């Protein structure tokens, strides 16, 4: 506990230095001072925190994950880092050290080989991309850092107490984030994007915490119940239609997963959404709505009830799917690499994204990784409620990614953290 408090103190020093500098000489004037002096100091302090209390640092980083898109950015070369990305990379180096020199057990598995193959495939698509820097930057945040998070959690989380602390810190960070989201929504009555986190990212974090609090039984304690209410409000503030539906049907899904049906559910979901994706991409005009005045409804609660807004959303998504499939046909083996494009940051569909960005090789590896994970853990779900909760979270995130995409924002981060959690729990059960 003392070492963890010291870690907090070091991070507080990092934050205080940056805030003090900005207020003292102004943000613009502070840049040169920051680059010359504070950046090296911050990196040294972060390294010290990782060394002093490695596991405590992991907990702090998980709590910081919801805030990592905006705060305390550090540019090194062409890549923008933040405490989470730098911290996870540092923890991965410590994890390697513990494996090779401290006797930490790490059983390399076929799943690890599959994850490495995904990284290699998207590395190939990146170097073949027309915009290598853009593609590399997106791949760094959508693939490399999430995969490193998986490796770090799998290595460093070794017992029940450490597992629970990791989850509690993650939920704590999401709860603090949810307070701001709820306050903004109450003030504006519109879905809001806060701290550079888009609506769907806020919703993804919210359902992760909600499912843990609800199905672990932790909600019976007052602090956890308060967190559940706050995060539920944050989820409502996103007005996310698919996630709302997922929460409603989650008791049925959870029960089926606990009975060992997780692999069947994931297989059905991937098959059905692939069929629907191909249908929409070949007939993009099928949901074209009748002319109507597109009011502010898209950002208010009206988006939940207005059928024209539903049809409009599906119409433009279908057009995006059609364009994505067309791009896939130009580089069918390894894809065109990740890119932002002139209009779209995401294709709003994980099938199209994996095909377009990674080609047929990337698509098969990515879908295979989720199917293999569910095949491996479905039997454990009847033995361990936390594994069942993790499978539920993954199933719901990927189901939502049918119409909102997966290869952007917080989705890959949360997914690989959850996969790492499952691997950690399997070690405990064995």
For 178-241, the DSSP string reads HHHHHHHHHHHSS---BTTB-HHHHHHHHHHHHHHHHHHSGGGSHHHHHHHHHHHHHHHHHT-H
Residues sharing a CB contact under 8 Å with residue 122, sequence separation 6 or more, in sequence order? 139, 143, 337, 338, 357, 358, 362
pLDDT in tens, 367-415: 999 999 999 999 999 999 999 999 999 999 999 999 888 988 899 999 9
Residue 352 has pLDDT above 60, yes or no: yes
Question: 74 and 42 in contact (C-beta within 8 Å)?
Answer: yes
Residue 355 has pLDDT above 70, yes or no: yes
Strand partners, 197: 194
Confidence of residue 202 (pLDDT cuts 50, 70, 90): very high
pLDDT of residue 11: 64
pLDDT, the chain, mean: 84
pLDDT in tens, 19-55: 666 556 554 554 555 555 556 666 777 777 777 788 8
Question: 324 and 281 in contact (C-beta within 8 Å)?
Answer: yes
pLDDT of residue 189: 76
Average pLDDT over residues 156-184: 92
Tokens read off for 151: 């490796």
> What is the share, in percent, of the chain residues with pLDDT greater than 90?
47
Confidence of residue 349 (pLDDT cuts 50, 70, 90): very high
Residue 304 has pLDDT above 80, yes or no: no
pLDDT of residue 340: 77
Average pLDDT over residues 104-115: 87
pLDDT of residue 137: 83
The domain ranges of the chain are 109-130+165-412
């Amino acid at each position: 506990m003392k070492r963890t408090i010291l870690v907090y103190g070091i991070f507080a020093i990092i934050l205080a230095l940056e805030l003090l500098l900005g207020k003292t000489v102004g943000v613009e004037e502070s840049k040169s001072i920051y680059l010359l002096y504070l950046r090296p100091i911050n990196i040294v302090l972060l390294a010290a925190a990782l060394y002093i209390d490695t596991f405590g640092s992991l907990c702090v980083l998980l709590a910081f994950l919801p805030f990592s898109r905006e705060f305390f950015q550090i540019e090194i070369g062409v890549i923008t880092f933040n405490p989470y990305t730098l911290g996870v990379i540092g923890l991965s180096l410590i994890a390697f050290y513990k494996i090779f020199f401290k006797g930490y057990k790490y059983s390399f598995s076929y799943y690890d080989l599959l994850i490495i193959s995904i990284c290699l495939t998207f590395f190939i698509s990146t170097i073949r991309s027309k915009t290598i820097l853009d593609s590399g930057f997106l791949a760094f945040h959508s693939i490399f850092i999430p995969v490193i998070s998986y490796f770090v959690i799998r290595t460093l989380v070794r017992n029940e107490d450490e597992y629970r602390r990791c989850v509690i810190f993650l939920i704590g960070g999401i709860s603090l984030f949810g307070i701001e989201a709820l306050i903004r929504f109450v003030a504006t009555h519109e879905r809001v994007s806060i701290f550079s986190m888009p609506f769907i990212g806020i919703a993804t974090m919210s359902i992760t915490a909600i499912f843990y609090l609800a199905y672990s039984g932790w909600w019976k304690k007052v602090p956890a119940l308060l967190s559940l209410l706050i995060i539920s409000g944050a989820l409502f503030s996103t007005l996310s239609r698919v996630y709302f539906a997922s929460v409603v049907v989650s008791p049925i899904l959870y029960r089926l997963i606990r009975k060992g049906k997780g692999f069947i559910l994931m297989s059905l979901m991937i098959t059905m959404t692939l069929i629907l994706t191909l249908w929409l991409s070949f007939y993009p005009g099928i949901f074209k709505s009748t002319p109507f005045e597109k009011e502010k409804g898209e950002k208010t609660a009206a988006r939940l009830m207005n059928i024209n807004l539903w049809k409009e959303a599906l119409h433009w998504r279908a057009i995006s799917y059609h364009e994505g499939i067309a791009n896939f046909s130009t580089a069918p083996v390894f894809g065109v690499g990740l890119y932002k494009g002139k209009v779209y940051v995401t294709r709003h569909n994980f099938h199209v994204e994996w095909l377009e960005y990674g080609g047929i090789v990337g698509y098969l590896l990515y879908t295979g990784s989720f199917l293999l994970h569910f095949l491996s853990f479905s039997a454990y779900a009847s033995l361990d409620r936390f594994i069942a909760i993790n499978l539920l979270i993954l199933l719901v995130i990927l189901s939502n990614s049918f119409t909102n995409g997966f290869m952007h924002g917080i989705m890959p981060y949360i997914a690989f953290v959850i996969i790492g959690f499952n691997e950690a729990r399997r070690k405990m059960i064995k």
